[in-house]
Amino acid sequence: MFDDDEDLIGDDGDDTDLLTAEEKAKVSVKDASFSDPQVMYAFYQRLFPWRQLFQWLNHSPIPSNDFMHREFAFTLQNEAYLRYQSFPTFETLRKEVLRLNPSRFEIGPVYSANPRDRKALRKAVFKPINKELVFDIDLTDYDDVRTCCDKANICEKCWQFITVAIKIMDVALREDLGFKHIMWVYSGRRGAHAWVCDKKARQMDDGKRKAVAAYLEVIRGGAQGGKRVHLRRPLHPHLTRSMDVLKDSFTTDVLINQDPWREPEKSARLLHLISDKTITEALREKWNSEPSRSSVKKWADIDEVAKSGISRHLNVQQLRENKQDIVFEYLYPRLDVEVSKHLNHLLKSPFVVHPGTGRVCVPIDATRPEDFDPLSVPTVTQLLAEIDATTGEEKMADYEKTSLKPYVDFFKRFVAALVKDETTAVKREREKEEAARAAAAGPGMAAEMEF
Amino acid sequence: MYKRDTAAATRRRVNQAGRRHFDGGKFQPVDYPHRLNFYTTPPTEEVTLDEFEQWAIQRLKVLTEIESALFRNKTPDELKSILNDLLKRHLPLDANSSRSESLTAQRRTDHYSHFILRLAFARSDELRKRFSKAETILFRHRLMTDDGLEREGFIASLGLDWERLSDDERSELESELKAASGGKKNLEPTYYKIDWEKVPELVERRMVFLKRGMAYVPASLQTAVVVGEFTNHLDRALELTARALPRLDEDERLIPILNHLSHGFTAPEFTSDPNGTHLPGTAITAASIDSLLQHFPACMLHLHTTLRRNKHLKHFGRLQYTLFLKGIGLSVEEALIFWRSSFSATPEDKFNKEYRYNIRHAYGLEGNRRDYKPHSCQQILLEHAPGNGEAHGCPYRHFGPDNLRAFLQTQMGVTDSSVLQGVKNDNEARKYHLGCNRVFEWKHREELKREKESGKGTVKETIIHPNEYFLRSWELAHPDEVQEAAKKMEGMEMKDEVMM
Ligand SMILES: [Zn+2]
C-alpha cells in the first residue's frame, strides 16, 4: 500500500507554481521582503512556536515515538524537497530548520520505525502507523461558482464558502463521528485545513479514513459533467442538518454575492439541474427576454413558473429535491478527499509562512468561523516589524509583542486540552492492563501456544 | 481430484504435537454452546489421521460446491437450497433446540474441519482469498438459517460491544433513524449502538445514523456487520497462519494430506485423459484443426482467426490457445508442427529460440515440468484484459458491444436477433459465460432437440470451460462414436476409488 516512490505531498493547491509569471512579479513588488531568506530565518528563530508544535505532535512532555518517528518534509528555498526527516526533540528540529531555512515544511505520519532508518528496513517493518485525520478545502475548487475573484485571489465574499464549510464539517466531525480535538488552520492563501487530533482519529487505517471522507463528501465530478449531487431521499440526518446551515447563507453568499447565473451561459447550468422540461423551457424563454436578470430573480422564477401551473404533471417533490441539490452543489463543502483518505499524505504545518502571500498559517476558531478574516492575518514582515517596534519589554517572548499572540495562545489552549485528554487515557489504559495482568497470573493458567 | 491413500487410512493417532498445527488462541478445552462458530479458538483434542482427513474432505466438498455455484451465477434462492442439501449430507449442524444427540460431534467436525482447511489453504494469497470467500458464504448461510433466539445468543457471545437501544431512545430518535434507513415507513423493532469504526462500510454509504461516535445499526443490517467481522477475523487469521507455516514442524504424515486438500480446491477444471486421445475414433493433428473450428467457443475461434490473420499471437493468447489445443488432444509433436506452420512469417531460428521452449513448457516438458491445465472460463475472465494487439481473454467480456455483435454474426454465424439481444443482456448483467452458453444452445439447437427426444441426453450444467464447450459440441455432432466408446468403457473397472 505504501510506496516510497509515491510522492504524496500536500497538494493544497497553494503552490506558487500556480501563479503566472505576471502574478509572481506583482506579488514580489507588493511585498518584496517576505520571500527574503533573512526574513524567514528571523521568523523561525524568533516567532515560530516550536515548543507548542512539539507538544501538539508528541502528546506528552517527554519525547516519545509520536514525535521522534514523525516525518517532516522540507521545501528549501531552491524548491528542493526533502522527505523523511525526523527529530528526537523540538530543539533539534528547530536547529535543523534554522540551518536549512526552508520556505515551508510539511508534516507526515508517524512511522513504525525512525524515518531516518527507513533504507535499512524492510517495507513490512517500516510503515506509517498513525497520523491526524486531515481535510483540505481550497477556493480553487469553487471556481465555477466564484465570480468575485479567480485564481489565487480571494476576498471577503468568496471566503464565505470556507466559513460555511468549516461550520458544516466541524459539527459533523464532533456530533456524528465523536471527535473532540479538531483544529482548523488557514492555509495561507485561499483555503483551510482541518487537523483531527483525537487518538482514535490518528489510529484510523485508510479504510476508515475513506469511510469518513465518503460520509462527508457530497459533490462529485467536475463542473463540466452532469449532476454532481446524487442523494438518497429522505436525506440522511447529517445532510438535513447541513441543509439548514446552507439555506441560511445561500441567498447572501451565493445568489447576491456571487450572482452565478447572471450570464445566460451560466444560467444554462441551472436549467440543466431542473428535471421538469416544461419548466426549464418556460424559464429559458423568460430569461431570453431579459438576458441579465439577476440570480436572485432567476432563483425565485423557478417557484413562480412552477406555481403558474404550466407543467401539467408537475412533481412538486422532485422540484424541491432539484432545488436542494442545487443548493448542495453550489455551497456544500468541496473536499479534496484524496488528502483525507491516506495515512501517508503530508500536509503543510500550522504556523509556517505561505511563500506566495507572506501570511502565517494561523489557527481558525471554529466556534466563530465568521469572525475570521484571512486578509487581516498577519504577514511575516509585519510581525517582525512589530517586534522591532516594541521597546523596553525585555521579559516578553517575541511572539507576545506581535499580533501573532492570540493565535499562539489559541494553539496553546488547543494543545493543552489534547495533552490532558491523552494523559488521562494513557493512565486509564495502564490501569486496565495491570488489572488484566493480575487476573492472568492466577493459578491453573495453561501455557500459551507459540501461535 | 483427491484420491484416497489407503495406506494412510489405517488408524493412527496424531500425537500431542498435532496441537501445534492450529493457529492462534489459548489452550482450553472446547465446548460448543452455540451452533455457529467464529473459529477463534483452535481445537486441541487428539484426532485420528482418518478423522483428520475425512472431516476435511467433507468440508471441502461443501466449499467447492459453493464456489461452483457462485461461478454459475446461481440466484440466492438456488444457492440456499443447494447449501441446505449439501450441508445436510456433509456437514450438518443442528440447533440446540433440536436436542439431537450428535450436537457435539457435529460441532466438533465443523470446528476441526475449518481449522484443517485453514492450514491447507493458507499457503497462497489466491487460495486464502477463495477460502475466505467460500467460508464467508457458508457462515452467512448458517447465520441466516439460525434460530432467532440462538442467533441472538451467538452474536452476544462475540463480544462485539453491541448495545441494544432502549425503547425510550429508539422513539426519541425516531425521525433520525427513519431518515438514515432511506425512508422505510416503520422503524425496525431492534436497533444496536456500536462504535462507528466497527461498521465503516455502513458509515461510508450513510446507511446508519451517527451520534457522538456511535453508529445506530438496525437489526437487519446487523447480519451484514457480523458477517463482515467474520471475514475480517478470518482474513487476519489466515495471514497469521501463512506466516507461521514455514515454521510449522508438521507431523510429516499430514503434509501430503494437506497438499491433496489444497489441490482439491481448484477452479472447476477440465480433466484431460492422460492417454491422449479425447475424441473417440479421431486423432487430432496439426492439419485437422481447421476442420474443427465449428466446435470452438468464441474465445478460441478469435485466437485462431487472429493467428491466421497475423501469423502470430502474443504471449497470453499463445498460452491460452496452446493449452486449449493440448486439452482437445493435440500432442506436443503436433503442437510444434501447428505453431511452426502458423508462425509462417517468423524465421526458423527465431521460432526455435523464442517459441519452441514455451510450447514444450506448456506441455510440462521444460522448466518445472508442471502439467499445465487448459484455462477455465473463470481463469480466462480473471486474466488481465487484452491490451493493444493481444487476443486472449473472453470476447463476451472483453469486446465492446458492437464488436461482439459483429463477431457473433460473421464468425459464429449467429443470425437470430433474439439470441444477440440475450447475449447483450447477459453482458450487462456481467454474466459473460451465460452469453456463451446461449450461443452454444442456439448453435446446437437441432442436436440438443434430437438428443432430448431420444432420451439419451443427460441434463448438463452450464458450460464453464472452453474444452467442455468443444467436447460437448463435438459429441453432439458425433452421437454414434460416443455410443461406441461408452460401450467399450462398460465393464472396465475403475482402479482407484475416487473420493471426489
Ligand atoms: Zn472573492
The per-type count for chain A, helices as H runs and strands as E runs, is 16, 9
Q: Which residue has the cell 505576471?
A: A22
- Whether B457 maps to a domain, the answer reads yes
Ligand 1 centroid from CA A284, angstroms: 28
- Under the banding of pLDDT at 50, 70 and 90, the label for residue A111 is very high
C-alpha cell at B123: 499457503
Do B310 and B214 lie in a common domain?
no
Q: CA dist A332 to A218, A238, A253, A309, B378, Å?
A: 7, 12, 12, 31, 44
What are the tens digits of pLDDT across the range A17-43? 334 444 444 433 344 466 688 999 999
Ligand 1 centroid from CA A150, angstroms: 7
Do B47 and B58 lie in a common domain?
yes
Give the angle subtended at the CA of B88 by the CAs of B87 and B92, to the nearest 5°: 75
Residues of A in contact with B240 (CB under 8 A): 451
C-alpha count within 13 angstroms, C-beta hemisphere, residue A236: 22
- Under the banding of pLDDT at 50, 70 and 90, the label for residue A216 is very high
- Whether B271 maps to a domain, the answer reads no
Interface touch A232/B206, C-beta < 8 Å: yes
Domain final position from B226, B256, B276: B226
Closest approach of chain B CAs to the CA of A317, in angstroms? 14
Do B87 and B133 lie in a common domain?
yes
**Residue closest to A201 by CA, chosen among A224, A218, A178, A184:** A178
Domain architecture of chain A: domains with CATH: 3-132+192-197+341-362+372-429 (3.90.920.10), 256-331 (no CATH)
Picking from A53-67, A93-107, B443-457, which range would have the lowest pLDDT averaged per residue?
B443-457
Residues of A in contact with B197 (CB under 8 A): 200, 204, 208
Q: Largest alpha-carbon pair distance within chain B?
A: 85
Do B106 and B146 lie in a common domain?
yes
pLDDT for position A178: 98
Do B293 and B436 lie in a common domain?
yes
Do B397 and B495 lie in a common domain?
yes
Residue to substitute from A177, A220, A324, A341, interface B, most B β-carbons within 10 A: A177
Q: Which residues of A are catalytic?
A: 71, 136, 138
Residues 6-25 (B) with a CB less than 8 A from some CB of A? 19-20, 23-25
- Under the banding of pLDDT at 50, 70 and 90, the label for residue B420 is very high
- Whether B280 maps to a domain, the answer reads no
Check: CB of residue A293 under 8 Å from CB of residue A247: no
Which residues are CB-neighbours of A239 under 8 A, at least 6 positions away?
A: A218, A231, A328, B206
Nearest by CB to residue B200, choosing from A200, A207, A240, is: A207
Interface touch A211/B200, C-beta < 8 Å: yes
Instruction: Judge whether A449 is closer than 8 Å to chain B, CB to CB.
Output: yes
Closest chain A residue to B206, measured at CA: A215
- Whether B275 maps to a domain, the answer reads no
Q: Is the full-model pTM beyond 0.80?
A: no
What are the tens digits of pLDDT across the range A411-441? 999 999 999 999 888 888 888 877 766 655 4
Do B54 and B116 lie in a common domain?
yes
Interface touch A215/B203, C-beta < 8 Å: yes
Ligand 1 centroid from CA A148, angstroms: 4
A211-A213-A216-A222 Cα dihedral, nearest 10 degrees? -130
Strands A70-75 and A81-85, bridge-based pairing: antiparallel
pLDDT for position A428: 85
Residue B82, marked binder: no
Q: Which residue has the cell 472452453?
A: B466
**Percent of chain B having pLDDT more than 90?**
40
pLDDT for position A97: 97
**CATH number where B66 lies:** 1.20.930.80
DSSP A83-152: EEE--SSHHHHHHHHHHH--SEEEEEEEESS-GGGGGGS-TTTS-EEE--EEEEEEGGGGTTT--S--TT
Ligand 1 centroid from CA A190, angstroms: 10
Ligand 1 centroid from CA A158, angstroms: 4
Residue B106, marked binder: no
- Under the banding of pLDDT at 50, 70 and 90, the label for residue A255 is very high
pLDDT for position A3: 37
C-alpha A359/C-alpha A307 separation (Å) is 51
pLDDT for position A160: 97
What are the tens digits of pLDDT across the range A183-213? 999 999 999 999 999 999 999 999 899 999 9
Do B123 and B15 lie in a common domain?
yes
Ligand 1 centroid from CA A139, angstroms: 9
Q: CA dist A33 to A29, A74, A357, A361, Å?
A: 9, 21, 11, 18
- Whether B393 maps to a domain, the answer reads yes
Query: Any idea how long chain A is?
Result: 451
Do B300 and B316 lie in a common domain?
yes
Residues 325-344 (B) with a CB less than 8 A from some CB of A? none
Closest approach of chain B CAs to the CA of A422, in angstroms? 18
Interface touch B196/A240, C-beta < 8 Å: no
Residues of B in contact with A236 (CB under 8 A): 179-180, 206, 209
**Residue closest to A380 by CA, chosen among A129, A44, A22, A9:** A44
- Whether B321 maps to a domain, the answer reads yes
Can you tell me the mean pLDDT for B202-225? 93
Do B180 and B86 lie in a common domain?
no
- Whether B270 maps to a domain, the answer reads no
C-alpha cell at B395: 470476447
C-alpha cell at B163: 448495545
C-alpha A192/C-alpha B432 separation (Å) is 48
**How many domains is chain B partitioned into structurally?**
3
- Mean pLDDT rounded to a whole number for chain A: 88
Terminal-to-terminal C-alpha distance of chain A: 26
Closest chain A residue to B241, measured at CA: A451
Do B451 and B351 lie in a common domain?
yes
Can you tell me the mean pLDDT for A283-293? 93
pLDDT for position A413: 98
Domain residue limits at B422: 286-499
Check: CB of residue B224 under 8 Å from CB of residue B230: no
Instruction: Judge whether A447 is closer than 8 Å to chain B, CB to CB.
Output: yes
A301-338 per-residue burial string, b: 16 or more CB within 10 A, e: under 16: bbeebbeeeebeebeeeebebbbbbbbbbbbbbbbbbe
Which residues are CB-neighbours of A395 under 8 A, at least 6 positions away?
A: none
Residue with more model confidence, A423 or A163: A163
The SS3 call for residue A278 is helix
| ipTM of the complex, rounded to two decimals | 0.88
Give the angle subtended at the CA of A348 by the CAs of A77 and A95, to the nearest 5°: 55
Interface touch B27/A447, C-beta < 8 Å: yes
Picking from A167-181, B346-360, B474-488, which range would have the lowest pLDDT averaged per residue?
B474-488
C-alpha B338/C-alpha B479 separation (Å) is 28
Can you tell me the mean pLDDT for B44-61? 87
Residue B377, marked binder: yes
Check: CB of residue B313 under 8 Å from CB of residue B307: yes
Residue B382, marked binder: no
Can you tell me the mean pLDDT for A65-69? 97
- Whether B123 maps to a domain, the answer reads yes
Which residues are CB-neighbours of A181 under 8 A, at least 6 positions away?
A: A196, A197, A198, A414, A417, A418, A421
Do B380 and B492 lie in a common domain?
yes
Nearest by CB to residue B26, choosing from A214, A232, A448, is: A448
